[in-house]
Structure 1
């Protein structure tokens, strides 16, 4: 690997971890030790994601420890959250070194929100976004576009993001893990949405890149930059530079494949040399592309997004 690698490591701390025996989880120190291994190999960006990372015990301590690596090989430390705990932690995570958060928000309709999250309330999420803004955090809203559910809200979501000075990324639903609703019923190709928004808001392609799969558009009359993540209509694998580390130390080389190595036990058993050897094997075998097909009856992998990290 080069000295300036753009691999973005994601520590996925799913809500499911609350039900795992603590011995199965990496300790905070082990997470930081792995971060140091990755940084030494050229990783410059770390994102804490899930599930919901803010449910992890002592997560602010972890963010603080990782934040100490900023300027010492690590260039960016970010967080993806569902926003439900953001009001409580916004100031603390900003003080610890986070400068930008992604908030998953598929709708601003309280009834739809409760249906999509199966139990969630919208008000705490909106309060969390406000708290993050007051703390000085840059905010990007991640909205999964769903036909027949929130497709009529996309323009309004963009206008709201513009008023609030939040960026917006639209995401195609991906066939990962078992879910109750049929994905093919709600899959919304984003090329259709993009054409509509280009016409409505006079969007033009942007040269901006964040190191991720989103392709951005902007308009002279908008403060908001609009990103499109299109794993099905426009495969983005040729630009993928990410690996994902779960709360138990499993590392996946691809969102859409089961190719993985186990680093927790390797770290405990053999330390950095054994971890590095496994990473070499993972990266050498990193799949060239995923095989997402929305029309298939079964998902591409049984692993849900909350396990791998979004």
Structure 2
């Protein structure tokens, strides 16, 4: 049974059958929400050193506004929500927001992306709030290299966070590694072994030219890396759906180990893109590699009704472009990754 058929069969089809479909026939069922643009790390590909241009809290959408907006997306067919940042666990009372979103009719999957530094103290509360899955950023197993990438030595805190997440039964737990030429590409096999022995899914990511920070990183073409890992570990294509995101997954023959490849540069996945991103101030970005956006905060704070918000969601999705142009126009995107949400 297809995902659409399952939803119809469950009685959770959007009201009036009003699926969110963009101009290019792609169904949009995945919303990523940046709950803060603040982070306690300064990863070289994400946030400029010394940056002080964060949004003021009064500009953030509050929990009531977020619940109203996510509810509108859910009524129109969005089934997956991911909480991101910055570092989302820096947002006060985040588990309470997670519980409110998970309780919305139609939301089937709630996940969270984190750098792991705060995870040990929040893992149990997040699990009770209904968070299903976690993505944890970990770009290096070498303490000095990790500190060079992130701006400080937080390695032990991240390791404690990973252990706490495993102990709480999150499934799956994915490790996100941005492969950077001359920085950490030599550690890929070590990261594979680390993930496999702990029951984690490793996702290798090509760096994208998001702002000056992203353009400062030499991206690694993951095609040859995939060929190397397929040969070494006897990987075969994964047939199971593992989260609805952009990664293409491979697994070991015994199913014990899995590796995902996110190849935004070498082999883009725009034709199947099913997601949009909401920033902390209520701006919806419909593509990482284009400037198309829609501001929801003025609408939410003007007393707009549910029908008006749903109509705005439809209009926002209509702005989604056919594809990014990271290769053709690498300097187009001025905003950096932490401003958009992971």
Please give the TM-score of this superposition, normalised by the length of structure 1: 0.93
User: Alignment partner for residue 38 of structure 1, among 56, 62, 73?
Assistant: 73
Runs of 4 or more consecutive aligned structure 1 residues displaced over 4 Å after TM superposition: 3-6
For residues 69-111 of structure 1, the C-alpha deviation after alignment (integer angstroms, 9 at most, x for no partner) is 2xx3111000010001100100000001112100011111110
**Distance change in 2, residues 1:6/1:144 (3 Å):** same
SS in 1 for 2:212: coil
RMSD of equivalent CA atoms: 2.0
Match of 2:178 in 1: 144
Q: Tell me the equivalent position of 2:239.
A: 207
CA distance in 2, matches of 1:227, 1:55: 27
User: Is residue 8 from structure 1 mapped to residue 30 from structure 2 by the alignment?
Assistant: yes
Helix, strand or coil at the partner of 2:139: coil
What is the rounded CA distance, in whole Å, between the counterparts of 2:142 and 2:78 in structure 1? 38
Alpha-carbon separation, structure 1, partners of 2:20 and 2:185: 43
Provide the TM-score with structure 2 as the length reference: 0.84
For residue 300 of structure 1, report the CA deviation from its aligned partner. Answer: 3.4
| Length, aligned pairs only | 304
Question: Deviation string for 1:48-85 (max 9, x for gaps)?
Answer: 0121111001111111111222xx31110000100011
The aligned counterpart of 1:105 is 138
Shift of 1:19: 4.5
1:28 to 63, 78, 93: 63
Q: What is the rounded CA distance, in whole Å, between the counterparts of 2:32 and 2:274 in structure 1?
A: 11
Say if 2:225 is the partner of 1:190.
Answer: no
Instruction: State the Cα distance separating 1:15 from its structure 2 match.
Output: 3.6
Residues 286 and 292 of structure 2 are in contact (CA less than 8 Å); yes or no, is this contact kept in structure 1?
A: yes
Give the whole-Å Cα distance in 1 for the aligned partners of 2:254 and 2:311: 51
Unaligned runs of 5+ in 1: none
Kept after mapping to 2: 8 A contact 1:12/1:50: yes
More deviation, 11-20/101-110: 11-20
1:175 counterpart residue number: 209
2:216, 2:295 → 1: CA distance? 32
Could you say which residue in structure 1 is the equivalent of 2:249? 216
Gap regions ≥5 residues in structure 2: 1-17, 22-26, 40-52
Matches within 5 A, 1:292-307: 292-293=326-327, 299-307=331-339
